Amino acid sequence: MWRSFILIVLLLFSPVLNASELSFSQNARTFESQTQSLFIKGLAFACLNSTQIPDDLPCNPALLTYLQKESLSLQALISNGSSNLEKIKKLLNQSSTQDTIDALFSKERILQIESHASLLFRSKYFAAQYLPVDIKGFSVVRNEANPDVEFYAVEDKGFRLQAAYPLTENLTIGLQSRLTDRKFIRQRFKLTDLATPAGKNLLTPKTYNFQTLEPSFSALVYQPWKVRISMMYANAGRYSERYDQIDPADELQGGISITPELLPWGELLLSLDYKSLTAEDSSLDKLHYGVSYSFGSMSISGGIDTHGISSGVFFSIQSISAGILYTTTKGLGDDSQNYTQTVYAQVGWQI
C-alpha cells in the first residue's frame, strides 16, 4: 500500500516541462510583501513548524512557547547589489534624476537589492519586532534594442507583534499582528514610455498602510520523529488601500514537519509548507520544502520551491550572530543562461 502511495506522489509531482528559458527572471527569495530573516529565506519560507529560528520571530506565533530563552537583539540583512540601494531609495523618495533612471534601467539587465534592519524581542509568550527600514528592489530589462522593464521597489516600516498560549502540552495557539506602512512602485513598461506624458507618473510611488490579525495553531500529532502540523490564517486585516498585484489574498496556510532522529547529534527538521509569497502564486508555487540542521552554534538551512533553490549557514554564539545565504533561480539540470543568483549576508547582536 505504501508503494502505491509513493507512486502517486511521484506521478503527482513529476517534473514539469523545464520552461526556465521562458521564465521571468525573479529573485528566488526576495518578494515584495515578505520580510523575513536569512534563516527563514534559507528554508524557502517553509517555517510554519520551525520551533527554533535563531534570527527572527517564529513564522507561526503559536511556536513562541518553545522558545528557551528571552532575548532582545538587532539583526541587519543585506543582499548583493547593495550599490543600487541609494538609487532605489531616491526613486521611492521621488528625488531621482535622469541619471538615476539611466543607471537603473540602461546599464544593467538585472538589478536586485534587499536590505533591512530589525529590533527583535522574544520571550515565551510574547514577541515583538520593530522594522525601521526594509527596502527591496528588483528589475529586469529585456530586449536591449527597445527595453522592456519589469520593476518593483518597496519600502516597509512597522511592527510585528506575536502572542502564544499553550492549550495542552502538544497543542498551542497563537496570534500575530502586523502594523505596516508601505511605499512601493510596481510597474511593467517600455523605457520609451518614460518619454511620454502618460509615462511621467509611472515611477511615482504609492503609499498605504495595513494592520493584520493572523491566528494560528500548532500541534505535535505523532511522537516518533515529532510529526507536527501547523496552520495559520494569514493576511487578514484592514488595508487603507488594497493592491492586488502586491498583497497576497487572505488565505489559510498550512505546514507539516518531521524531526527524524537519524543522526546522533544535532536536530534535523524537514518541513513542507503551503502558503503564498506573492499575489501571483499558483498552487504549485505555494509549495515550499525546507530542511534545517542545528548543531551547536551552527544552523544550516536549505530550501526548494518553484521560485528557486537556497542554501545557507548561520552561526550564533553568545551575543553575536552571522549568516550567509546563497540562492539561485536556476533549476536542476537547467543549462539556460537566464537565472538570477543572490547572496545575502546578515549580522546580529544580542543587546
Our CB check for other proteins shows the closer of 92 and 313 to be 313
> How many Å apart are CA 43 and CA 270, to the nearest integer?
9
Our CB check for other proteins shows the closer of 69 and 95 to be 69
Our CB check for other proteins shows the closer of 248 and 308 to be 308
Smallest gap from Cβ 318 to other proteins, in A, equals 7
Our CB check for other proteins shows the closer of 247 and 305 to be 305
Smallest gap from Cβ 320 to other proteins, in A, equals 6
> How many Å apart are CA 174 and CA 6, to the nearest integer?
34
CA distances from 56 to 17, 250, 313 (A): 36, 23, 15
Our CB check for other proteins shows the closer of 237 and 347 to be 347
Say if residues 319 and 349 touch (Cβ distance below 8 Å): yes
Smallest gap from Cβ 287 to other proteins, in A, equals 6
Our CB check for other proteins shows the closer of 83 and 94 to be 83
Smallest gap from Cβ 284 to other proteins, in A, equals 7
Smallest gap from Cβ 161 to other proteins, in A, equals 9
Which ranges of the chain does DSSP label H, i.e. alpha helix? 2-12, 38-42, 85-92, 98-105
Smallest gap from Cβ 333 to other proteins, in A, equals 7
> How many Å apart are CA 115 and CA 117, to the nearest integer?
7
Contacts of 9 (CB under 8 A, 6+ apart): none
The bridge status of strand 237-239 relative to strand 227-234 is unpaired
Q: Nearest Cα to 84, choosing from 137, 14, 11? A: 137
- Strands in 13-125 per DSSP E: 71-79, 110-122
Our CB check for other proteins shows the closer of 74 and 243 to be 74
Our CB check for other proteins shows the closer of 250 and 260 to be 260
Neighbours of 197 (CB within 10 A): 6
> How many Å apart are CA 100 and CA 102, to the nearest integer?
5
Smallest gap from Cβ 57 to other proteins, in A, equals 13
- Stated length of the chain: 351
CA distances from 31 to 41, 132, 226, 276, 350 (A): 10, 18, 31, 11, 27
Smallest gap from Cβ 268 to other proteins, in A, equals 11
Residues facing 257 on adjacent strands: 228, 271
